[in-house]
Structure 1
Amino acid sequence: MRFTHETLPQRVRFAAGEAAAAVREEIDLLGARRAMVIASPRGTDAALAVAAAIEVAVLHDGVREHVPVEAAEAARAVASGHGVDVVVPVGGGSATGLAKAVALTTGLPIVAVPTTYAGSEATDIWGLTADGTKTTGTDRRVLPRSVVYDASLTLDLPAGLTTTSGLNALAHAVDALWAPRADPINAALAGEGVRALARALPAVLDAPRDVATREQAFYGTYLASVAFASSGSGLHHKICHVLGGRFDLPHAATHAVVLPHVVALNAPHAPAAEQRLAAALAGASAMDGLAELYRRLGAPRSLGELGLREDRVVEAAAAILPSVPPGNPAPVDAHVLERLLRAALRP
């Protein structure tokens, strides 16, 4: 075997019911004292409970999906104005994304407390949106120093968001199988991440108050995201980033809808990845296993229902084409992308 693998340095704590104490200990290890807590307006009460044992210099609720540049600039100004020395996002991928935007220009450390299965907390990938274009990049400054997974914080997560954020996590693992820096270690992590998520997500919907099952969903999320951070963004994420930034489609639901179409395109050209996915999904094939999982979850299937119009497909395909990763298993041109998007428009 000939490959170079890199694993990002990060502390990870699974601490069901103990987020407040775990966050305090992680911040103490950093030697930090004044925290900027970031949460959505609906998540501020939960965030303050998580931050009960630390000094909160400021609570910032300017979270917006896809992290518009103006939201990032506002958050950076708040951090500077309050003299904070650590950022604590409590919430989904948008809260973590805003914390990353602050860290990108300030170098402030992040202690992330996820409440969905977005997975951003385990990557050094940032994203900012301006004028309908979402720009992404990697920078070690945005990798959270610590992640605290407290499954009890997800007990009230709506079923729809459980499904879409969980499938977003699954997409991280799938992309890791054929992204630019895919390697055997990433494949092993991704396969176990898919296996854990495929079993946990239906069980969470069946028993929403079962903390142990939700911990398994976090476990799968973390493995998938670690693999994704090492392998880089594959075709799936490039498509979804363009659709989200250009057409303001909901992040997690867009990932959920697009994933089967990318698997259908790439799997025939990547037999080893297809076999690993099929085994992890307990299906006769990757597509069979994915279809059964989507059926059990009642997952969204239509970009049209999310807001993409048929008359924007050519525009979308042209915008995606320059970002198609080199080495994607299936050949990709504008016509391939148009066919994929048109198929994804229909339920």
Structure 2
Amino acid sequence: MAFNSERFTFSSSTPRVVFGPNSINSLPEELQRLGSKRPIIVCSPTRTSLASTIRGILDEASIPLAGILDRAVVHVPVDITEGSVAYVEHQSADCVISVGGGSAVGLGKAVCFRTGLPHICVPTTYSGSEMTAILGELEDGKKVAVTDPKILPSTVIYDVTLTMHLPKHLTSVSGLNAMAHSVEALYAKDANPVTSLVALESLTCLAKSLPLVASDPTSTEARSSVLYGAFLAGMAVASTGIALQHKAAHTVAGCCDLPHAETHAILLPHTVAYNLPSLGSDVIDRFGIALVGRPGVSAQEIVSAITSIMQTLEVRCALKDIGMKEEDIGRTAHIAMEKQYWNPRSLELDRIKEVIRRAWAGEAARVDL
């Protein structure tokens, strides 16, 4: 991608990142860097076995654990957060280690935002939340997002060995969630040559590697590439901001109690189809390079490439198939439009409602709105 002497502003604040196989073994050293002597592990109820493994690593380093908080659930309900804060304070923990997917990372961020404790993330999926200063919580039936530098974790440990047994379906939808970050970073309001390079590398990595993992889930090389792509995706979107894809996904998933990553995956080709006609040829060429392998492709070809990846991964393509009701289409469209936010194309209620309807029905994404 050639530099065209454009004027831009770049500002980035990222956690310390430790990447590589068996990097979880560096956890005691990272705790020492933060001055932590009594950490607590945050995870979901299904990740207690991994939490116990990490407890063993800390035991060998003679680091006492304040406890294992296994209350993380999807969308981070505020009542769960408040109860977790009370438990963390009661246990006199001085650092939070979140282990697992976006739910655990989200709860860890929520607890640390309220308590001021340092936060070490050990992600085992590809959500990318660990790289952002964004916290989404479920309150009164709505997903409420807050952005604050204090939310950004202190350290992230990416260890591919912890992702090797991630089920095929979760690998696929979580990887597509990461792709959603890359996609929006390419056309975000604060996109610049630096973030575009990161987003392009991320999207290329994910588009090539996700099908490889689907065909051979035991491939350490392919899974490492997906994890690397997810890391870059989170870093890119953290530096540029979000638009329609994230607003729609957070609204629909939060209001309808749907799986976060799968909602992102289903909406992705539809929001891309909506926004592509408003993008410059340089941005469309980047999409073409990452998804089709060459510049100069049409908007519909890009959308079709995303759909093809979804079909290869054998993920569901209809929101109705994961629990959304038809009567929720209008409601979620209205909620998604309640607060104005930046998007490369102007947002009109009827058209956003149609975007959600197509995703609900599982129709093929089309560049015709």
Partner in structure 1 of residue 366 of structure 2: none
Q: Specify the alignment match of 1:17 in structure 2.
A: 22
* 4+ residue segments displaced more than 4 Å: none
Distance 1:23 1:294 in 2: 35
- Partners of 2:286 and 2:246 in 1: how far apart? 20
Once the two structures are superposed, the pairs formed by residues 151-162 of structure 1 within 5 Å of their partners are 151-162=160-171
Deviations 1:279-317 (A, max 9, x none): 101254321321221121112210111222222211111
2:346 aligns with: 331
Q: 1:38 aligns with which of 36, 42, 46?
A: 42
2:91 maps to 1:82: yes
Q: Deviations over 1:248-289 (max 9, x none)?
A: 111000000000001111112113222211210125432132
Once the two structures are superposed, the pairs formed by residues 141-156 of structure 1 within 5 Å of their partners are 141-156=150-165
- The residue correspondences of 1:39-54 to structure 2 (distance < 5 A) are 39-54=43-58
What is the match of residue 278 of structure 1? 288
AA of the residue aligned to 1:47: A
Match of 1:245 in 2: 254
Alignment of 1:1-347 (within 5 A): 1-19=6-24, 21-54=25-58, 55-270=64-279, 271-282=281-292, 284=297, 285-326=301-342, 328-347=343-362
Q: Distance in 2 between matches of 1:73 and 1:59?
A: 16
Q: What secondary structure sits across from 1:128 in the alignment? A: strand
**Greater shift in the superposed pair: 300-309 or 334-343:** 300-309
Unaligned stretches of 5+ in structure 1? none
* Structure 1 vs Structure 2 CA RMSD: 1.3
Matched residue count: 345
Partners of 1:187 and 1:51 in 2: how far apart? 39
For 1:151, the aligned partner's letter is V
Q: Which moved more, 1:94-103 or 1:21-30?
A: 21-30
Q: 1:91-145 CA deviation, whole Å, 9 max, x = no partner?
A: 0000000000001111111111010011111111111111111111112222111
The Cα of 1:8 is off from its aligned counterpart by: 1.2
Q: Secondary structure at the match of 2:68?
A: strand
Counterpart Cα distance in 2 of 1:122 and 1:244: 21
Letter in 2 for 1:15: G
CA contact (8 A) 1:68 1:130 kept: yes
Identity %: 38
Q: Secondary structure at the match of 1:310?
A: coil
